[in-house]
Amino acid sequence: MEIGIDSFAAAHNEASGTVNSADALAQLLERIEHADRCGLHVFGIGEHHRKDFLDSAPAVILAAAAARTKNIKLTSAVTVLSAADPVRVFQNAATLDLISRGRAEMVVGRGSFTESFPLFGFNLQDYNDLFTEKLELLLNINENEVVNWQGKFRPALNNQAIYPRPYREQLPIWIGVGGTPESFVRAGVLGLPLMVAVIGGETHRFRPLVDLYREAGKEAGHAPEKLAVGLHSIGYVGNNTKDAVNDFFPGYAETFTKIGRERGWPPVTHQHFDAQAGLRGALIVGNPEEVAEKILRHSEALGGISRLTFQMDNAGLSHKQLMDAIELIGSKVIPLVNG
């Protein structure tokens, strides 16, 4: 199983003493370098367009990381394709693939935040249609150097060559999904790998949706090995569970209580956190042994996963705490999971 990190490039982290955006990005690049040295398999950068995060241009961050790393895969997590131009998305990713010599990937989705739609002049009522059309075009570009295509939301392309081409013949493109059955089925029909974001509840409840994905892929004629499933989880690894919880909970509660006010969720309590961090809950917080056991339980519950990515930097942790957690993932969690 591949194990890595997803980051939203959190800004203005008072706990770490970082109040300068340039310092925050410099520390993020240090963490990506560290993850590469520690043997993590993948590092992803999200895309948001809000004050809390510095990841509005993820391809730029990933390119900077590509020049400083050797082995780790570098991916978007996710590219908000509905509000982007697929031509530019492909060109950015292909350029990243050239810089990294074949380590670039994309996870594309519709986005859980919606600020990019008014920012780039799109109507939220077209939320699904935009993604469907733009995914079709992106896959077309990935497969063909010269593209003929016509749609509703973008000018047609007539015998249009699109450059640069990536280092490899094609870029790996994953579909990022939340809890919409149609999204799982679409990924299966297209035969694309699936990245499931489970940020709350109990992970095993996503099994029927993953089964839908695999069945749709099978009916469409795709080989089972092509239908990979990844899991994006909020989590943190400490030397012992008590310290991990004490480090992680305050910032987690603050962040998700704030988001909850926007979305109508109740404030986060310690009781809620403990349930989420328990045996069947979505959070993966604890010592390396407990974290490895929970990853394997999640994999079994979903019928087998090939990738898991931790989201750690939305809980106000310091740069040192994140660096130490990355080291524990590389030195202890990965060997326990794959040993």
Cα 103 to Cα 68: distance, rounded to the nearest angstrom = 13
- Summarised one tens digit per residue, pLDDT across range 93-152 is 999 999 999 999 999 998 778 889 999 999 989 989 999 999 999 999 999 999 999 999
pLDDT over 80 (residue 157): yes
Task: Mention every residue, 6+ apart, whose C-beta is less than 8 A from residue 306.
Answer: 1, 2, 193, 228, 229, 230
Bridge partner list, 107? 174
Mean of all residue pLDDT scores within the chain: 95
How confident is the model at residue 313, as a pLDDT?
Answer: 87
- For residue 75, count CB atoms less than 10 angstroms from its CB and return exposed for 0-12, middle for 13-18, buried for 19 or more: buried
CA end-to-end span of the chain, whole Å?
10
How confident is the model at residue 55, as a pLDDT?
Answer: 96
Q: How confident is the model at residue 64 (pLDDT cuts 50, 70, 90)?
A: very high
Do you find a cis peptide bond into 208, omega within 30 degrees of 0? no
Strands, DSSP E only, in 39-103?
42-45, 73-76, 79-80
Structure-token pair, residue 148: 């003929």
Cα 257 to Cα 162: distance, rounded to the nearest angstrom = 44
Mean pLDDT of 18-33: 91
pLDDT over 60 (residue 17): no
How confident is the model at residue 15, as a pLDDT?
Answer: 54
Cα 60 to Cα 55: distance, rounded to the nearest angstrom = 9
- The owner of tokens 């670039």 is 104
- The owner of tokens 């004050």 is 51
pLDDT over 90 (residue 270): yes
Closest CA to 247 of 257, 255, 237: 237
Task: Mention every residue, 6+ apart, whose C-beta is less than 8 A from residue 324.
Answer: 238
Structure-token pair, residue 191: 């035969």
CB 266 within 8 A of CB 221: no
Q: What per-residue string of b and e applies to 37-51 under the rule 16 or more CB within 10 Å gives b?
A: ebbbbbbbbbbbbee
For residue 287, how many C-alpha atoms fall within 13 Å in the half-sphere facing its CB?
6
What structural domains does the chain harbor?
2-338 (3.20.20.30)
Structure-token pair, residue 94: 């292909």
How confident is the model at residue 265, as a pLDDT?
Answer: 84
CB 138 within 8 A of CB 173: yes
User: Which pTM value belongs to this model?
Assistant: 0.95
Q: How confident is the model at residue 13 (pLDDT cuts 50, 70, 90)?
A: low
| Angle value at C-alpha 287, between 302 and 256, nearest 5 degrees | 70
How confident is the model at residue 297, as a pLDDT?
Answer: 97
Q: What is the largest CA-CA distance in the chain?
A: 60
How confident is the model at residue 14, as a pLDDT?
Answer: 55
Compute the Cα dihedral for 254, 258, 263, 266 and give only its sign.
positive
Cα 76 to Cα 45: distance, rounded to the nearest angstrom = 5
Phi then psi for residue 336, to 5 deg, are: -70, -40
Mean pLDDT of 153-178: 97
Strands, DSSP E only, in 194-252?
194-198, 229-237
